[in-house]
Amino acid sequence: MREVTVELGERSYPIYIGEGLIEQAGEYFTKHEISKKSPLMIVTDENVASRHLSKLEVALQGAGFQVVSTIVKPGEKSKSLSVFEDLITKALEAGLDRKSTIVALGGGVVGDLAGYVAASYMRGIKFIQVPTTILAHDSSVGGKVAVNHPLAKNIIGAFHQPELVLYDLSTLQTLPLRDVKAGLSEVIKSGLIWDAEFVDWIDNNAERLLALDEEALGYALYMGCNIKAQVVSQDERENSLRMILNLGHTIGHALEAVAGYNELLHGEAISIGMIGSARLGVKLGGSEEIYTVTKRVLSRMGLPVGLPEHLDIDAIMEAMLHDKKFSEGTMVFVVPTAIGEVIIDHSVSTELVREIVEQLKQEAV
Ligand SMILES: NC(=O)c1ccc[n+]([C@@H]2O[C@H](COP(=O)([O-])OP(=O)(O)OC[C@H]3O[C@@H](n4cnc5c(N)ncnc54)[C@H](O)[C@@H]3O)[C@@H](O)[C@H]2O)c1
Ligand SMILES: O=C(O)C(=O)C[C@@H](O)[C@H](O)[C@H](O)COP(=O)(O)O
Ligand SMILES: [Zn+2]
């Protein structure tokens, strides 16, 4: 078992990473003083429920927790205000009170959605992340919780840190290949913003990662959680440094919204966005290697690197104006200056961004 701490003073919390941790959830929750007198609500989706929910219920009930479970439909469309409202109704019906805890069992969709319910219900109750996707090494850490609006991704949300993250890597063995690849996109992002050696390691271990080799995956997800924890510990509310975690996201989030939240997975959209950022990095004076290495690693993982032909460029440009980093009339971009290094650039013109997005149509998809 590996452990990483997100250092946030009295709101610090551990990320436990290992095999078979769900079976020990009762002990972990007891250690973290989760109430056994108030009901605890697990939120999960249909795909995860059929594979992993009963293990968690049994472990928690066995340790004396009062467990209710609620299951949402899988996919990005569940990150909506209407599903949010359904969950508030479920919480009220189940009698959740201020000492109750909401547990997100699933990927980033369930984590963001359940986390926003926990942040809002009775103005905020405890929250625990039990991630079950590769991508959730990113989404379960750092306390960003949100639902989408048809016009803009993650636009209704809060910062609400979990009490702990219990990352049971054995759950990843049931992931569909498309979600394996999409999750690895954010692992690659962690390397691209922070650690060139890690990018090199990913490049050399792509096949092992795609085959869900336990040792390789354990190391990659530990590294991803560790990078994320270091960034969040220094800038919880994204005043400066934390923006780097948004590499590829200005374009990526616009693509997700324009594609209606059902065509591109988040990791796929971010992959295309990171190619755009790499092109921007080269355009602004960085070495050609930024682009060639970024494209090679993403392609090796079987991720998309070009824009789907039918997506409209005007609509993408319009959606980008809703990015949370756009303020006071300025677009803010995370721009790579080398592999493993990025800067926050406040002076990228919309004309240049448009040129980059147009070039994305020329990439081999
Ligand atoms: N809060 C953050 O900091 C943050 C960071 C990155 C991404 N996100 C958000 O995360 C979301 C994407 O997360 P995701 O890729 O995990 O998507 P997801 O939660 O939709 O999970 C992907 C798919 O895998 C299924 N699944 C999950 N675990 C499984 C398992 N163990 N076995 C079989 N199937 C399983 C799900 O049902 C779903 O169909 C996006 O909404 C994105 O915006 C948030
Ligand atoms: O934790 C962060 O900060 C991130 O930016 C991580 C991203 O991978 C993630 O997709 C996040 O949800 C994006 O946040 P947003 O504020 O741009 O909506
Ligand atoms: Zn992301």
Q: Report which ligand 2 atom has the smallest distance to the Cα of 153.
A: 18
Burial category of 64 from C-beta neighbours within 10 Å (exposed 0-12, middle 13-18, buried 19 and up): exposed
pLDDT for position 362: 87
Q: Of 186, 236, 256, 268, which one is the catalytic site residue?
A: 186
296: pLDDT strictly greater than 80: yes
pLDDT single digits (tens) 195-205: 999 999 999 99
Q: How far is the CA of 138 from the centre of ligand 2 (A)?
A: 8
Between the alpha carbon of residue 141 and those of residues 31, 92, 165, 176, 364, the distances in Å are 20, 27, 7, 22, 33
364: pLDDT strictly greater than 70: no
Distance of CA 135 to the CA centre of its chain: 6
> CA-CA distance, 183 to 303, in Å (whole number)?
10
- The percentage of the chain sitting over the pLDDT mark of 90, rounded to a whole number, equals 93
Q: Beta-carbon neighbour count of residue 229 at 10 Å? A: 22
Q: How far is the CA of 191 from the centre of ligand 1 (A)?
A: 20
pLDDT single digits (tens) 230-268: 999 999 999 999 999 999 999 999 999 999 998 999 999
pLDDT band at 330; cut points 50, 70, 90? confident
Q: Of 52, 79, 181, 266, which one is the catalytic site residue?
A: 266
pLDDT mean across residues, the chain: 96
Q: Which CATH number fits domain 177-360: 1.20.1290.10, 1.20.1090.10, 2.30.33.40, 3.40.47.10?
A: 1.20.1090.10
pLDDT for position 151: 87
Residues flagged as binding site for NAD(+): 108-112, 132-133, 144, 153, 171-174
pLDDT single digits (tens) 337-350: 999 999 999 989 99
pLDDT for position 22: 98
Residue pair 74/46 in contact (Cβ under 8 Å)? The answer is yes
Domain ranges of the chain: 2-174, 177-360
Class of domain 2-174 as given by CATH: alpha beta
Q: How far is the CA of 133 from the centre of ligand 1 (A)?
A: 6
Residue pair 124/135 in contact (Cβ under 8 Å)? The answer is no
315: pLDDT strictly greater than 80: yes
Supply 4's token pair: 């990483």
Return the HEC string of 258-312.
Answer: HCCCCCCCHHHHHHHHHHHHHHHHHHCCCCCHHHHHHHHHHHHCCCCCCCCCCCC
pLDDT for position 363: 87
pLDDT for position 130: 99
Residue whose CA is at the smallest distance from ligand 2 atom 13:
246
Reply yes or no on whether 186 is catalytic: yes
Residue whose CA is at the smallest distance from ligand 1 atom 34:
175
Q: How far is the CA of 120 from the centre of ligand 3 (A)?
A: 22
Reply yes or no on whether 242 is catalytic: yes
pLDDT single digits (tens) 205-228: 999 999 999 999 999 999 999 999
Supply 127's token pair: 């929250």
Residues flagged as binding site: 108-112, 132-133, 144, 153, 171-174, 186, 249, 266
pLDDT single digits (tens) 144-174: 999 999 888 999 999 999 999 999 999 999 9
Q: Which of 37, 22, 45, 174 is nearest to 109 (CA)?
A: 45
325: pLDDT strictly greater than 90: no
pLDDT band at 110; cut points 50, 70, 90? very high
pLDDT for position 365: 57
Residue pair 100/148 in contact (Cβ under 8 Å)? The answer is no
